[in-house]
Amino acid sequence: MNGTLIPNTPIAVDFWQIRKCSHIRLFFLSHMHSDHTMGLSSTWKNPLYCSPVTARILKHKLQVKNKLINPLEVGVCHMLPLDDCGIETVAVTLIDANHCPGSVMFLFEGYFGTILYTGDFRYHSSMLSYPPLRNLKVDVLYLDNTNCDPEQRLPSRQEATEQIKELIERHPHHDVMIGLYSIGKESLLVDLAKTFKSWIVVSPQRLELLSLLEIEDVFSSTHGDGRICVVEQPEVNYHNMVKWNSEHPTIAILPTSRKVKVWHKDIHVVPYSDHSSYEELIDFVSQLKPSSIIPVVKTKHCLFHFRPYLSSEKAIHCVEIPDSVKSFMTCQKVESRVEPQKLRASIKRVPLGVQFEPTETNLQCVADLDRTGKNSEKTQNAKRGTLSPDYGEALIPLTESTVLSSDPKDRSFPLTVSEICEISKNAFEMPSAILSPQDMNVTVISDSSVLCAKTRYVINLNSSLDHMYKTFPSARISSVSILPHKKRKKLDSRTFFWQVERYFTGSPF
C-alpha cells in the first residue's frame, strides 16, 4: 500500500488505517487508484481533501459521505488549520500530477519546512515552470519511484501511443481488446477513437464513471458500435483470447510498463506508462534539488541514484512541534467520544424478541391493563415506549411489530384459558401473554410462557395449565392481541425465567 504519515505533523496522504494514525487530523487523497485508497470506504468518518475530479469519483465509487469530502482547487494555495486555536496553519497547493484524471501532487508549507508529495506522477519539463514549483526550495521530496530502474527503458506516452496505433493498423479486420484498470489512460482512448474514427466500447459501469471526468464523448456501452473495446486488465488472458477468436479475429493490447507474462500470441504488451521513467526522475530531481528524498514505493531502494542531485544545504532533521499542534494531535476526536453508560442502556432497553408497534390498538392493550381505563400514567409511559414501575420497569420502545387480532365481530368474548391455549397451538410458534389477573386482558408477545404482570408470576402454557386454573380458577379472558416476531430458538422454562428476571425488576422469583 502506498501512503505516508508526515512526521511531526497531523497530516496523512493516501493513508487510511485509522488505528495507526490516531494523531492525524488532516487526510489527503492524491488520486483514486486502489493502491492509494486501501482502507477508505463508505464508513470513513474524517474530513479529507482532494481535487474536484477525485471528489466526484470518490463519491461515485466508494460512497464516502459528501460532507466529509473537501475538494480543493488545483493550482491555488489553501490555508488549513493545524490546531484548534488558529495559531498554526499549513499552506497546501495542489499541482497536476499528469498521471490519471484528478491526480495531484501536494505541496505543504508550514513550521516543518517545505514538503512536496508527488503521489503517482509522470514528469514533464513544463511542470517546473508552474508557479508553485518555480524556484522552489524543497526540504523533503516524497518521490514516485515506481520506474526507478536504470535498466528499464520507457518511451514517452506519445511514442507508446504510436506503437499501439501501428498494431491496430496491422490488424484492420480484427477486434481490439484493450486491457485497463478502472481509471487511467483515458487520453489514449480518445486519441485512438479520433484516429480510427470509431466508438470506444466500454462497460456500462465504466461509461458511468467516464461521464464524471468531463472528457470528450467518444465512448459507447453498446456492443458492436466499434471494434475497439475496453476490458478490465485481468480479463486479457488465454481463456478469453480463445473465446474471442472463436467468435471473431481478435487481438489484445496491454498498455503497461509492468512485466506481464504473455500466454497467447495475439496479446501485445506496449510500455505505455503513467509513471515517470528513470530518465525523467533524474531530470526532475536534478532540476528541483531537494534537501532529502523519501520514496513513495518503499519496497524499492533507489536513493543512491539521486544523491548527486540533492541540495548542498543540510536538510531539517529536527522539527520542533508547536504546543498548540501537540495539543491538536493528542486531543480526542469528537467522533470517538462515546458515553459508555448510553451504550449499556441501549443494549438493555429491548428484551430479546419483544417489539411493540405504536398503533392505537396496541396502546389500548396497554391502557386496558389499568383497571380504571383512564389515560393513566401507565398509559402515558406506554406511549413514550416504556412501562411504568408497576409493570416491571422494562424500557420497551414501540417499534415495527404489527398487531394481529381478529375483528371483534368475528369472535366472542370472554375467552377461557383453554381457548387461549388452543389459539397458541395454531400460532407460528407457542406464544406468551401478559395477563392482568383482574380483567385478564392479554397481549401475546413471544415464546411459550405467560407473564402475569401485576403478580410477577410466570406460567408455562405447555406444561403448567393445571397450575393456571389453580391460580385463577374463575379467570376469563376479555381481549387478545398477538404480536409476531422473528422465529428464534425456543427457550426452556429456566432460560425464559432468567430473561424475564433481567428486565423486570422487583419480581419475587
Q: How far apart are CA 191 and CA 197, in angstroms?
A: 10
Q: Which contiguous run of DSSP H or E holds residue 434?
A: strand 433-435
Residues sharing a CB contact under 8 Å with residue 250, sequence separation 6 or more, in sequence order: 174, 175, 176, 177, 241, 244, 266
Give the pLDDT confidence score for residue 260 in this predicted structure: 85
Question: Which secondary-structure segment (H or E) carries 12?
Answer: strand 11-13
Closest C-alpha among 387, 378, 328, 325 to residue 354: 387
Dihedral over alpha carbons 453, 457, 462, 466 (to 10 degrees): -120
Three-class SS state of 5: strand
Determine what percent of the chain falls in helix, strand and coil, rounding each to the nearest 5: 30, 20, 50
How far lies 245's CA from each of 176, 270, 330, 452, in Å?
11, 21, 61, 76
Predicted local distance difference test score (pLDDT) of residue 143: 94
Radius of gyration of the chain (CA): 35
Nearest 10 degrees: Cα torsion 269, 273, 275, 276 = 100
Could you tell me which of 476, 434, 430, 466 has the C-alpha nearest to residue 451? 434
pLDDT value for 473? 52
Q: How far is CA 122 from CA 86, 117, 287, 288, 304, in A?
A: 36, 13, 15, 15, 21
> Cα separation of 394 and 386, whole Å?
7
Partners of 108 in beta bridges: 92, 115
- Other beta carbons less than 10 A from residue 142's beta carbon: 25
Q: Are 115 and 72 in contact (CB under 8 A)?
A: no
Max Cα separation, the chain? 103
Supply the pLDDT for residue 457. Answer: 37
The pLDDT, as a whole number, for residue 341 is 31
Q: What residues have CB less than 8 Å from 255, skipping those under 6 apart?
A: 160, 164, 178, 179, 180, 185, 188, 270, 272
Distances (CA, A) of 422 to 406, 407, 471: 15, 18, 19
Whole-angstrom distance, CA of residue 74 vs CA of residue 96: 7
Taking the C-alpha atoms of residue 5 and residue 11, their distance in angstroms, rounded to an integer, is 6
Neighbours of 437 (CB within 10 A): 13
AA letter at 257:
S
The residues, any chain, with a CB within 8 Å of residue 177's CB and separated by 6 or more, are 229, 230, 231, 235, 236, 244, 250, 251, 252, 253
Among 367, 431, 375, CA closest to 404: 431
Give the phi and the psi of residue 271 in degrees, each rounded to 5: -75, 65
Q: DSSP letter at 194?
A: H
Residues of the chain with CATH 3.40.50.12650: 157-270
From residue 151, give the alpha-carbon distance in Å to each of 264, 277, 279, 386, 493.
26, 11, 10, 75, 77
The one-letter code for the residue type at 302 is: C
pLDDT per residue rounded down to tens, the chain (509 residues): 578 999 999 999 999 998 888 889 899 999 999 889 998 999 999 999 999 999 999 999 999 999 999 999 999 999 999 988 888 999 999 999 999 999 999 999 999 999 999 999 999 988 988 888 988 999 999 999 999 988 888 999 999 999 999 999 999 999 999 999 888 999 999 999 999 999 999 999 999 999 988 788 899 999 889 999 999 999 999 999 999 999 999 999 999 988 888 889 999 999 999 999 999 999 999 999 999 999 988 777 788 899 999 987 765 667 888 888 988 888 755 343 333 333 333 333 334 444 444 444 444 443 444 444 444 444 444 444 443 333 333 333 333 333 333 344 444 444 444 544 444 444 433 333 334 444 444 444 444 333 333 333 333 444 444 544 454 455 444 444 444 444 444 445 555 555 555 555 444 44
The pLDDT, as a whole number, for residue 503 is 52
224: left (phi over 0), alpha (psi -120 to 50) or beta: left
CATH number of 157-270: 3.40.50.12650
Numbered ranges of CATH 3.60.15.10 in the chain: 4-150+277-330
Predicted TM-score (pTM) of this structure: 0.65
HSE at residue 84, side-chain half, CA atoms within 13 A, is 10
What is d(CA 101, CA 121) in angstroms, rounded to the nearest whole number?
Answer: 11
Which residues, other chains included, contact 466 with Cβ-Cβ below 8 Å and sequence gap of 6+?
A: none
Give residue 492's pLDDT: 52
Q: Give the Cα separation of 192 and 164 in Å (integer).
A: 9
Q: Looking at domain 4-150+277-330, does it have CATH number 3.60.15.10?
A: yes
Task: Please report which helix (H) or strand (E) contains residue 141, including its range.
Answer: strand 140-143
